[in-house]
Structure 1
Amino acid sequence: MQKNVREATEAEQQMGFTEALRLYPAAVAWSVGLSTAVIMEGYSLMLLSNLYAQPQFNRRYGDLQSDGSYVISAPWRSGLSNGALCGELLGLFLTGVAQDRYGYRKTIFAALFMVTGFLFILFFAQNLPMLLVGEILCGIPWGTFQTITTAYASEVCPVALRAYLTTYVNLCWVIGQLIVSGVLRGVLDRDDQWAYRIPFAIQWIWPVPLMVMCVYAPESPWWSVRKGRFEEAKRNLARLTQGSEDAIDATLALMQHTNELEELSTAGTSYRDCFRGINLRRTEIVCLTWLIQAICGAKFMGYSTVFYVAAGVPQSWSFNLTLIQYAIGFVRTVLSWFLMAHVGRRTLYLYGTLLLCCLLVIIGSVSLAPRSNHVAHWADAILLTVFIFCYDLTVGPVCYSLISELSSTRLRAKTVVLARNLYNVAGIVNWGAKSIFFWGGICFCCSLWIFFRLPEPKGRTYGELDILFAQGVSARKFSCTMVDITDSTLSREDKLTAKQ
């Protein structure tokens, strides 16, 4: 057993990117395929915020103003946006329970089935209350897509591919945003109800093909191991890799050994166990890592089209700029893969947050210029594009890799759910236009926390990370501490200490 564990650990650490692709092509294909569900979520969440800048949508659901224009009131805007977030909060907690009991495939399938039905409410909405109900109900499956795809990607691939497949989830977000921007730009010249109904209807493209994929996709072998179904785990591993039977047996032994390590510190798999013993630190790190993504100005990016219009940029150019920024965002996320491979997750997250802090202060200062200063408004638009460039190169994609790697395998689904819910709660708070300065200050505080508390998981197997956390290794020493996974195991005394 120990020989297999050691061999599997050494094989994962020595495996390069090219070899990992050769041995795990099926894992890459299934992970990329199921992560496509996040395209739908990124599309849906960005759709509503950008429809606020569409005259046809405002004319249908807004109130007539004295100047003859139609506007949806601020309370209703806030209610619609927060309605989706409230639905996501419920969906996330249900996901944590359902995934642990039924597995990844069945949970994703159920969420896709739900969203297919709930989309009818949005498409046929006759008024704002009906639109709100649709947003709340659709938020439930959207919450599932937010976390379960990342967790699945982190469990079906080796260490060499972990960063790429988990951050691909962020790329799916960018693709969704790019698609919605292109769709809205395409219907901009329409003057009827289809200007906003077509964008709603396009969301039906994804669910059915993805449900078919869920039927045939292999379950996560880590989930099977946690359930004690070792033969099932071996069959799923065989479907994910082209390695030899001996290599599959060694990988399975490593999974069993890692699961046993975590059982010593965490006997249960409930939400309460996320706040006990060793896992309390891991929960703090994962939750605050995702919170940082929310309070570094990400909310501000979702309303980029509205911001451009409010800044005095012509409407057609506002949609063009939004389309351009998301198109470039695709390239930025791919570039982040190369940066992570060379500098690591922690470094990229730290310097990315500091850079966003500086940009927010500059954008806020320029926004103080009077509305008559068109040069300042265009400068703000350009600076916002630069901000999004830096975000999609650093904080945006790297977050997904960190939250999936730093949570324990037994509590991953629930830890990630708690983190995403904290992210969503932070997104409910709207600090107004001058909040840019607030975000700038918060970004600086976040960079301090990253420096002292965020570990570097690059190149570590899940078993090694378990031992480093169990030994209380400082975050700044994670990357240089030597670990022998077969010798440095948790003792029973460690277990009792962790429980206290």
Structure 2
Amino acid sequence: MFGKANKEPKRQAVGEDLAQVLPDDGLPWYKKRHLLVLNYFAVSMALLSAANGFDGSMMNGLQALPQWHTFMNNPTGAWLGFINVAQTISSVLSYPVIAWFANRYGRKPGLFIGYFFLVLGVFLQAFSPNPAAFILGRFFLGQPSSWWGGNAPLLITELAFPTHRAFLTALCQCGWYVGSLVAAWATYGTRNYDGSWAWRIPSILQIAIPCVVLPAACLIPESPRFLVSVGRVSEARKSLTRLHAGGDESSALVEFEMVEMERAIQADSDHQASTSWMDLIRTPGNRRRAFITVTIGIYAQWNGVGVVSYYLALVLQTVGITSVTDQTLISGCLQIWNLIFAVGAAAMVDRLGRRFLWLASSIGMLASFILISGLSGSFATTHTASVGIAVVPFLFIYYAFYDIAFTPLTIAYPAEIWPYHLRSRGLALCGISTYIAVSFNIFVNPIALEAIGWKYYVVFAVILVFVVLTIYFFYPETKGHTLEEMAVVFDGEDAPVTGRQELKIVGDRVTDSQHAEKV
């Protein structure tokens, strides 16, 4: 009825049922104007995470600049940790509000609240007359990170074309490295400037990538799933018809998606009139989702990456690399490396599967971090320059393994495993757990690095053992399911939506329509 061509790659991405109603015209997506527009929107939303990546890399670079240390009165230890963590505290405080706002007013309006705080924070930070103003600016800059982090992934995953959803949602965190790349090379380029402009220029540039994204933020439509949830079904159908079917109002794909969305959202409404945070742990399936979501947020930061991302300069100093030029150059090259591996892994999400990437990432990080700890300890004992330098390539190897799962899947995996009515809260839960872990890292890491140096790395090697075990026993494979069909993975085969029911309904409607035309 819907075509018998070989659709194995599509079945891998979305499952057999949805694959049967996908267009089979032989044209690649980049030759279809409506998919080019849709993917432009999605990639632009992914780039909003660049603001957060810019901040982490910029603060890393600023700590290598004597000009910034002079302006900030040479912060160390707990005070340095507080300066870094101010942005994170702001993000944690806003996530509960963002989850409520996204369900009440939609996914799109929150993007513009993020832009407001971005302008305010960048202005305060870049033109701060004293350290207090700089810290206040960092506090405001925590708001766009959370407003965009809580809304942009929802827009992507709920609006993307089915076979592109996993890749595009996985790009959300890859945008982090676009921002970190710009920040790393900006601080490298200004390292020799006299006075405060050495750090003020990178601070100003934090607004650059979001400005490029602004046209897409204005033009992107609202999530069709949100529109269905508030009764605006005709608008949802119109949006999907334009962006998924190129204006074809008889599209079987759009019919399938609409039936699936309406049935799933109606099923949610029938079970409960309103949602609360307690719903995240009310059923066995949701408790498993919540456990996965919280551990992702924690493990994404408590695996050693927090030491490298915010305190690379201190890490390099422990192995004898003290030159400002060398430190900023290594940071810049590391961001290019990260971006390549993160995007490459995002492209493999549907081919290799989420579970394979999670396990490969965690096992690889464990092995490389053990080697980093050993080499750092050896340098601390022998002070042999070659041993210290040998740490650098293993930092790159460690990050390559981090990038193949913890960059693309930290947002994409939680965004797809939660049902619609809890998706915004589930994503907020991931954000809260992530930022709490980040806050702990940022505050504690500089103290621990100053106190025990390379021995602190052993702590993360031990944590990585628990990461591997948790992923192996609790993280299921989700490849080959639509967002609505994901309920089967966590709630069992008796879950209200399984796909085949929708396929039959769509087939009956198409048959009825064809019969009517003949009559």
Q: Percent identity?
A: 20
**Is the Cα–Cα contact under 8 Å of residues 177 and 338 in structure 2 kept in the other structure?**
yes
List per-residue Cα deviations over 1:115-136 (Å, max 9, x = no partner).
1122211112223222222211
Q: 1:121 to 1:399 in 2, by over 3 A?
A: same
Alignment of 1:344-355 (within 5 A): 344-355=353-364
Alignment of 1:341-420 (within 5 A): 341-371=350-380, 372-420=383-431
Q: 1:34 to 1:91 in 2, by over 3 A?
A: same
Alignment of 1:90-489 (within 5 A): 90-243=93-246, 244-247=248-251, 248-277=254-283, 278-302=285-309, 303-313=311-321, 314-371=323-380, 372-429=383-440, 430-431=444-445, 432-433=448-449, 434-471=455-492, 485-486=500-501
Deviates more, 1:287-296 or 1:440-449: 287-296
RMSD over aligned Cα, in angstroms? 2.7
**Is the Cα–Cα contact under 8 Å of residues 13 and 460 in structure 1 kept in the other structure?**
no
CA distance in 1 between counterparts of 2:400 and 2:489 reads 34
C-alpha deviation, 1:226, in angstroms? 1.4
Deviates more, 1:362-371 or 1:402-411: 362-371
Structure 1: 4+ residue segments shifted above 6 A? 12-18
Which amino acid in structure 2 is aligned with residue 279 of structure 1? N
Which amino acid in structure 2 is aligned with residue 295 of structure 1? W
CA distance in 1 between counterparts of 2:295 and 2:151 reads 19
CA distance in 2 between counterparts of 1:18 and 1:290 reads 39
List per-residue Cα deviations over 1:25-77 (Å, max 9, x = no partner).
33211111222221122112321232111111112212xxxxxxxx3221221
C-alpha deviation, 1:249, in angstroms? 3.0
TM-score in terms of structure 2 length:
0.84
CA distance in 2 between counterparts of 1:18 and 1:192 reads 56
Which amino acid in structure 1 is aligned with residue 287 of structure 2? L
Q: 1:207 to 1:326 in 2, by over 3 A?
A: closer
Q: 1:158 to 1:229 in 2, by over 3 A?
A: same
**Is the Cα–Cα contact under 8 Å of residues 338 and 403 in structure 2 kept in the other structure?**
yes
C-alpha deviation, 1:7, in angstroms? 10
C-alpha deviation, 1:207, in angstroms? 4.2
C-alpha deviation, 1:15, in angstroms? 7.9
C-alpha deviation, 1:458, in angstroms? 0.9
CA distance in 2 between counterparts of 1:15 and 1:100 reads 35
Which amino acid in structure 1 is aligned with residue 249 of structure 2? E
CA distance in 1 between counterparts of 2:27 and 2:167 reads 12
Deviates more, 1:213-222 or 1:394-403: 394-403
C-alpha deviation, 1:197, in angstroms? 0.7
Which amino acid in structure 1 is aligned with residue 233 of structure 2? F
The DSSP-based 3-state class of the residue aligned with 2:377 is coil
Which amino acid in structure 1 is aligned with residue 438 of structure 2? G
TM-score in terms of structure 1 length:
0.87
Deviates more, 1:426-435 or 1:177-186: 426-435
**Is the Cα–Cα contact under 8 Å of residues 304 and 460 in structure 2 kept in the other structure?**
yes
List per-residue Cα deviations over 1:340-379 (Å, max 9, x = no partner).
2322011110121011111111111211134422122111
Unaligned runs of 5+ in 1: 1-5, 63-70, 489-500
